[in-house]
Amino acid sequence: MALRNVILGFLEEPASGYDIKQSFEHSLSHIWAAESSQIYGTLRAMEKEGLLASETEKSNRGPDRRVYRRTLQGDKALEEWLAGDPELSPERLSVLCQIHFLSRARDPRKTTVFLERVRDSFIERLREYEALRAEEGKAKEGTVDVFFDTLALDLGLKTLQARIEWCEEALSRLAALDGADPANA
């Protein structure tokens, strides 16, 4: 159901499936990048359900565009979503499963190597988020908009920082284990 809601959110102005795909890439890329195939299908379904209405329109470049706008029912659905409960989806990070089973083997060496790689991946992603954040910040220096537009991105940054810290802590505790109890190696 989330995709439907996000589409409703993007349709503040009438837009085509192609436009919505662009919106994903420009303003939600760090959270979600839906595929065109899914977007087009969902738009059709939403029109059938009465959430959207569409008209075709000549493009000045390429084939005709099917332009969608929210119906009153669509307006209402969006409002309900934004006034409804926070949707805390379960996380199900595969990497946690890997760590779980690795650590069952009680092998400090293997665990260390793996955690270092996890940390490096997190750091890499952090760099990407920081770059995005810098762009946003530069574009709207000192305005109230900076706060609102970086709200969601900042959660990602904070989360990654905490996870990198977790890696560092786990690695230093592992090093202590390995030193104190070399029989484990």
Partner DNA sequence: GGTTCCATGTAACGTGTTACATGATTTT
Partner DNA sequence: AAAATCATGTAACACGTTACATGGAACC
DSSP-assigned beta bridge partners for residue 89: none
Q: Which does 181 bind (CB under 5 to 8 A by kind): a second copy, DNA, none?
A: a second copy
Residue by residue, DSSP assigns 25-72 as: HHHSTTT----HHHHHHHHHHHHHTTSEEEEEE--SSSS-EEEEEE-H
Window of 29-37, 122-130, 156-164, 174-182 that interacts with DNA by CB under 7 A: 29-37
Cα 132 from Cα 11, distance rounded (Å)? 23
Contacts of 10 (CB under 8 A, 6+ apart): 19, 20, 23, 24
Residue 155 lies near a second copy (rule: CB under 8 A): yes
Q: In the bound complex, what is the minimum distance in angstroms from residue 104's beta carbon to DNA?
A: 21
Query: Quick count: other Cβ atoms within 10 Å of Cβ 136?
Result: 15
Q: Which does 28 bind (CB under 5 to 8 A by kind): DNA, a second copy, none?
A: a second copy
Interface contacts to a second copy, rule CB under 8 A: 2, 5-6, 9, 12, 27-28, 31-32, 78, 81-83, 85-104, 106, 110-111, 114, 117-118, 121-122, 125, 144-145, 147-149, 151-152, 154-156, 158-159, 161-163, 165-166, 170, 173-174, 177, 181, 184
